[in-house]
Amino acid sequence: MSEVTAIERPEEKRDEVESAVVRFAGDSGDGMQLTGTQFTLTAALAGNDLATFPDFPAEIRAPAGTTFGVSAFQINFGARRIMTSGDDLDVLVVMNPAALITNLSDVKPGGIVIADTGSFTDRNLAKAGYDGNPLDDDSLDKYRVVKIDMSRLTVEAVKDYGLSNKDALRSKNMWALGLVYWMYGRRRKASTDWLNAKFEKRPEIAGANIAALNAGHAFGETAEMPAEIGGYNIPAAEIAPGLYRTVTGTDAIALGLLAGTRLANLGLTFCSYPITPASALLHQLAAMKEFGVVTFQAEDEIAAVGAAIGASYAGSLGVTSSSGPGIALKMEAIGLAIATELPLIIVNSQRAGPSTGMPTKTEQSDLYQAVFGRNADAPLPVISVSSSTDGFEVAIEAVRLATKFMTPVMLLTDGYLANASEPWLIPDMADYAPFEVKFRTDPKDFQPFTRDDDTLARPWVKPGTPQLAHRIGGIERADGSGHISYDADNHQKMTDLRAAKINGIADDIPEQEIDQGEAGASLVVVGWGSTYGPISRAVNNMRNEGFNVAHIHLRYIWPLPRNLGDLLKGFGQVLVPEMNKGQLVTLLRAQYLVAAEGFNKVNGKPFLINELETAIRGRLEN
Binding site for other proteins (CB under 8 A): 41, 44-45, 47, 190, 239-246, 255, 258-259, 262, 267, 269, 271, 288-294, 296, 298-300, 302-304, 306-316, 318, 332-333, 335-336, 340, 426-427, 429, 462-475, 483-484
Provide the 3-class DSSP secondary structure of residue 282. Answer: helix
Report the nearest approach of other proteins to the CB of residue 69 (Å): 29
Rounded to whole angstroms, how far apart are CA atoms 29 and 65?
Answer: 10
DSSP output for 525-576: EEEEGGGHHHHHHHHHHHHHTT--EEEEEESEEESPPTTHHHHHHTSSEEEE
Report the nearest approach of other proteins to the CB of residue 319 (Å): 11
Provide the 3-class DSSP secondary structure of residue 99. Answer: helix
Residue 227 or 430: the one with the smaller Cβ distance to other proteins is 430
Residue 211 or 336: the one with the smaller Cβ distance to other proteins is 336
Q: By C-alpha distance, which of 410, 422, 420 is closest to 323?
A: 410
Rounded to whole angstroms, how far apart are CA atoms 344 and 401?
Answer: 10
Report the nearest approach of other proteins to the CB of residue 223 (Å): 32
Residue 295 or 531: the one with the smaller Cβ distance to other proteins is 295
Residue 330 or 400: the one with the smaller Cβ distance to other proteins is 330
212 alpha-carbon distance from chain centroid:
32
Neighbours of 444 (CB within 10 A): 5
End-to-end CA, the chain: 62
Residue 314 or 595: the one with the smaller Cβ distance to other proteins is 314
Residue 4 or 239: the one with the smaller Cβ distance to other proteins is 239
Q: Classify strands 14-16 and 317-322 as parallel, antiparallel or unpaired.
A: unpaired
> Do the Cβ atoms of 403 and 343 come closer than 8 Å?
yes
Integer CA distances (angstroms), 131 to 43, 125, 143, 407, 539, in order: 38, 7, 20, 60, 43
Residue 204 or 332: the one with the smaller Cβ distance to other proteins is 332
Report the nearest approach of other proteins to the CB of residue 378 (Å): 13
Report the nearest approach of other proteins to the CB of residue 174 (Å): 18
Report the nearest approach of other proteins to the CB of residue 471 (Å): 4
Report the nearest approach of other proteins to the CB of residue 85 (Å): 19
Report the nearest approach of other proteins to the CB of residue 428 (Å): 8
Q: By C-alpha distance, which of 296, 294, 394, 398 is closest to 346?
A: 398
Is the bond preceding 559 in cis, omega lying within 30 degrees of 0?
yes
∠ Cα 221 226 230 (to 5°): 55
Q: Which amino acid is at 597?
A: E
Residue 260 or 517: the one with the smaller Cβ distance to other proteins is 260
**Helix residue ranges, H only, 373-440:** 390-405, 415-419
Provide the 3-class DSSP secondary structure of residue 297. Answer: strand
Report the nearest approach of other proteins to the CB of residue 19 (Å): 17
Residue 197 or 488: the one with the smaller Cβ distance to other proteins is 197
